[in-house]
Structure 1
């Protein structure tokens, strides 16, 4: 049977809806027959709802919105995904698109000059507290969020306990819906990959600890002086992957982490110094590419992806395809493998983990300003209520019938366990979608649970080295090689600061971040001597004078206020 649920079918089901009990699957009904939401909450899936009686859906509204746009989407105003939202909600959605890379700066200008859009949809905006709590420009949403108006948001909150509470500002109100995405492979963002033919040339096994890794890199360099044993890029030059063999590094700019409720910074620890000594040794012996710290991913890819003369063996980056792009046939990518986190001299073996024990949302992904008339606000919020459905997620893969189809019953998802909901022919590949207006791709306020991401069909014979199979490959690598060394309990949850606290801490943190980044690179490259005790002590003293402990203490205070109740 086909899994597609059209609107007429949903309306028919809703007339006979019964109340959802606890966290099991079923139907939720509010006041009247038009508030039903079908959900599979044990899997974290939310299915699209129909019209809500509290809002007169016969009235068509024009809603003006700002949206952060994916660079490969040509036109969000003439877009199949936009058309779907408009048809479902009886609105004209007029979008002012801003490239995601420019969004924060342009949004700051708009808000500071009073040129408020009615609605903002993005991957996150960090000044919700300022313009909501302090200045009253962003509208509190609490009175609009209920089973009648937003049944899908309510179902999402049941599916992920703490989802809505994670968005509350210090005054207890929700001013913006956060972006929530459980992309399993990004839980472990700092990975290392390698081009296996070069490793095979050495005759050495895959390294499992820092000593073996060093010997392997040396052997590669000795094989061919043109080989680049290890390469990274400016956003990931190997510190976090390699450093996690010495102590836990969170990937935070100041390497803040949670030690059983006590906030600490790893950048002052002796083990951190040992990690820097190790990476300095790799650099000084020509084993770590000398331009790693300055080059972009595109520049790294231009060097690594030379089929006629492959020279890069190991690469630190989120996904191998960033260095060796996927080709449907042939290409270097098909000979890449992931390296399991290395064990260090003290027995440490960690994977940097970007998921905590509580729900983590990115602040400010969807909010309404006072520019929007009262009568349109519920309808605008229904856009978000639609975006949290599994249908919205599936539609990010393009056009039904052309780029994807609903799965037949019995089909299995990416993890080999989750029932499949859809089969993607192309993956997230706007370059093959003609005019590139088939969807918003993956740039919008999201509610994507692990279960819905795993519901992409993956037959047993799926080519995991193809574009369509890349999500399955990333899942397998994260599950089998990185999750065993993960540390959710050490990861900081979202910590909320007041606007005053943000003002007090932000400049100090920015200055510290730059000093730490510059010093780290200087220690690795040798312009600061990591083996000189006096230099190290001077570094520690500078961190203290710049307010590192103050930042840690204020983070601890905010953490205690939010979580130690």
Structure 2
């Protein structure tokens, strides 16, 4: 019995080896371990196609996209599979249950090889990266990252932004540098009214007040009624909150991401809303309201309600409003054409000479591509994602097929920035289709890429936004203070700061409305307001942000 046992064990081990060697994907594709010699032999040279000699399958969880009919049958999916020799088994997660689904699969261990387009936040990357669920990509980037290393060389700020404090890179981003988006806290004013009244675009807070008063009292729409609304705002549109533009004539007030109102000066983080300059900004807003120039609805109305005012069918009623584009208060590209009759007002110079155009430091969507420890072929998964940064692949994955949805530019065509163009949209983006991924997953849409698109005509929205930003906001980007970049936080930091920030920001918004509308008195109630912020542990919130910021320097 003892002599026979080693022989039986050998047979069992041999059978196990044979079964393992014969196993593969159900569709005949390989799922061999990335660490094995056979998997390495299956890879082609980095930067070449196909990626693998024998077709390999990856299991990918992807965010559902309302503009994509079916990722499995999508034209770009099929084209990229043919080019890479990598087949994708898709698991599509509805946008509405995105975070819930991700939390469930990570907690339960039933997650795929790759997580795509779920925009996993840095705090979650650190949690699951430190325990090995998300694999660090550093070695893969060094060995196979042909396009990723080019990206890092051209834009070192990208590498810095996605590197955790421990030096690990757990995800690849989607790059979407949008020039006009980077300075989206804009004011728009109705140019025909200025022309009719013989007024210039205002340049100071005093001039702005005078223009609004002229809109209110001089009947610029010419209907003989005092029905003009000088200034009305919605807090719910992109770049539009009431303090997003006007407060920057008093103190730097960026409104980007989770760190709104927070700024960096000389390496130290601080907030705008407890400073004497903020108080003076509130005093100015209160004067606009008290004199009938700013509507009370500016604190409560939604985007659609403001658009109804902006698109009033009988006559123009709205003199000015805020937003990243005129879509905040008009029907963008609508038949009335009213959206194109508003022009931007440069940052207004305040009483103390302050005038800032806040700049958004984020040029990427973090957590777009993650490889998990379930991946048997992490090298294949990484190379598949690395290739998506290529110029043609970015065009195909975001816009569609060459000469159908996009084309190469003609020699005499100019881009949005007035330089020679490189490519042109044939079909407008935004329709439900099944030929591209509609901005899902890694891609490299740099400023250079976006601005090299052919300018369609004089009223091309992208051209308008580029010129308004270049001429009226670029000159006022701050040099002495800056916005806070996206921060990597530990789970504890992220949880504590989220709770504190919600409580504090809700209170700031509430008191801003009360001070502006006169429900609270600036002179009598300001000190109580500041003390309440201190009691809400504002100091601790700033401390957490400072710790995270300093760890990334």
1:231 aligns with 2:235: no
Q: Secondary structure at the match of 1:71?
A: coil
Aligned twin of 1:51? 49
1:177 and 2:172 matched: yes
Question: Residues 128 and 413 from structure 1, CA distance in 2 versus in 1: closer, same or farther, beyond 3 angstroms?
Answer: same
2:304 is equivalent to residue 304 of structure 1: no
TM-score, normalization by structure 1: 0.81
Kindly state the Cα deviation for residue 176 of structure 1 after the two structures are TM-superposed: 1.0
Contact 1:123 1:445 in 2 (8 A): no
Say whether residues 1:215 and 2:200 are aligned partners: no
CA distance in structure 2 between the partners assigned to 1:390 and 1:302 by the alignment: 41
- Indicate conservation of the 8 Å contact 1:139/1:370, yes or no: yes
Q: Give 1:456 deviation, angstroms.
A: 0.9
In the aligned structure 1, how far is the partner of 2:340 from the partner of 2:539? 47
> Aligned to 1:441, which of 438, 441, 455?
438
Q: Distance in 1 between matches of 2:88 and 2:518?
A: 55
Partner of 1:365, secondary structure, is: strand
Q: Distance in 2 between matches of 1:492 and 1:385?
A: 28
> Which whole-Å CA distance do the structure 2 matches of 1:82 and 1:100 have between them?
20
Supply the distance in 1 between the matched residues of 2:516 and 2:96 (Cα, whole angstroms): 29
Q: Output the CA distance in 1 between the equivalents of 2:353 and 2:95.
A: 41
Q: Aligned partners of 2:312 and 2:110: how far apart in 1?
A: 48
Q: Does 1:543 align with 2:533?
A: yes
| 1:297-336 → structure 2 map (5 Å cutoff) | 297-327=303-333, 331-336=337-342
Question: Which residue number in structure 2 is paired with residue 265 of structure 1?
Answer: 271
Which piece of structure 1 moves more, 92-101 or 232-241?
92-101
1:547 to partner: Cα distance:
1.3
Cα distance, 1:532–1:77 mapped onto 2, change above 3 Å: farther
Change over 3 Å in CA distance of 1:96–1:220 after alignment to 2: farther
- Residues in 2 aligned to 1:288 and 1:368: alpha-carbon distance in whole angstroms: 51
Encode CA deviations 1:22-46: one digit per residue, 9 max, x unaligned. xxxxxxxxx9x9657xxxxxxxxxx
| Cross-structure match for 1:133 | 129
Residue 538 of structure 1 deviates from its aligned partner by 1.1
RMSD: 2.7
Structure richer in helix, relative to its length: 2
SS at match of 1:153: helix
> Match of 1:404?
406
- Post-superposition offset of 1:423: 1.5
User: TM-score normalized by structure 2?
Assistant: 0.83
Instruction: Give 1:299 deviation, angstroms.
Output: 3.1
> In the superposition, relative to structure 1, how do residues 206 and 559 fare at CA in structure 2: closer, same or farther (>3 Å)?
same
Q: CA deviation at 1:556?
A: 2.1
Number of residues of Structure 1 aligned to a counterpart in Structure 2: 499
Alpha-carbon distance, 1:268 to partner: 1.0
Alpha-carbon distance in 2 for matches of 1:316, 1:160: 31
Whole-Å separation in 1 of the counterparts to 2:261 and 2:545: 13
Secondary structure in structure 2 of the residue aligned to 1:309: coil
Measured in 2, the distance between the counterparts of 1:130 and 1:211 equals 49
> Secondary structure of 1:367's match?
strand
Determine if the alignment matches structure 1 residue 282 to structure 2 residue 285.
no
Q: Distance in 2 between matches of 1:98 and 1:528?
A: 46
Q: State the match for 1:557 in structure 2.
A: 547
Alignment pair present for 1:194 and 2:186: no
Shift of 1:120: 1.6
Q: Which residue does 1:240 correspond to in 2? A: 244
Q: 2:469 aligns with which of 458, 473, 478?
A: 478
CA deviation map 1:303-338 (0-9, x unaligned): 312343332221201011343234486521232212
Is the Cα contact below 8 Å between 2:404 and 2:427 reproduced in 1?
A: no
How far 1:215 moved relative to its partner? 1.8
Residues 84, 175 of structure 1: alpha-carbon distance in 2 compared, 3 angstrom cutoff: same
CA distance in 2, matches of 1:116, 1:523: 50
1:528-551 Cα offsets, whole Å, 9 max, x none, are 32x233x11111111111111112
Tell me if the contact between 2:192 and 2:341 (Cα under 8 Å) persists in the aligned partners: yes
- The 1-side partners of 2:260 and 2:410 are apart by 48
Deviations 1:211-246 (A, max 9, x none): 111122222222243322212222323212000011
Q: Mind listing any 5+ residue stretches in structure 2 that lack a counterpart?
A: 1-40, 220-224
SS class of match (2:134):
coil
Q: Among 410, 414, 417, which residue is 1:415 paired with?
A: 417
SS for the counterpart of 1:267 is coil
SS in 2 for 1:291: helix
| Unaligned segments of structure 1, at least 5 residues | 1-30, 37-48
Return closer, same or farther for 1:190/1:109 CA change in 2, 3 Å cut-off: farther
- Cα distance change, pair 524–113 in 1 and its aligned pair in 2 (3 A): farther
Checking the alignment, whether the CA contact within 8 Å between 1:35 and 1:151 is kept in structure 2 is: no
CA distance in 2, matches of 1:303, 1:438: 38
Compute the displacement of 1:145 (Å): 1.5
> Structure 1's 334 and 504: CA in aligned 2 closer, same or farther, altered over 3 A?
closer
CA distance in 1, matches of 2:63, 2:228: 40
Identify the residue that residue 146 of structure 1 maps to in structure 2: 142
SS at match of 1:66: strand
* Aligned-pair CA distance for 1:130: 4.3
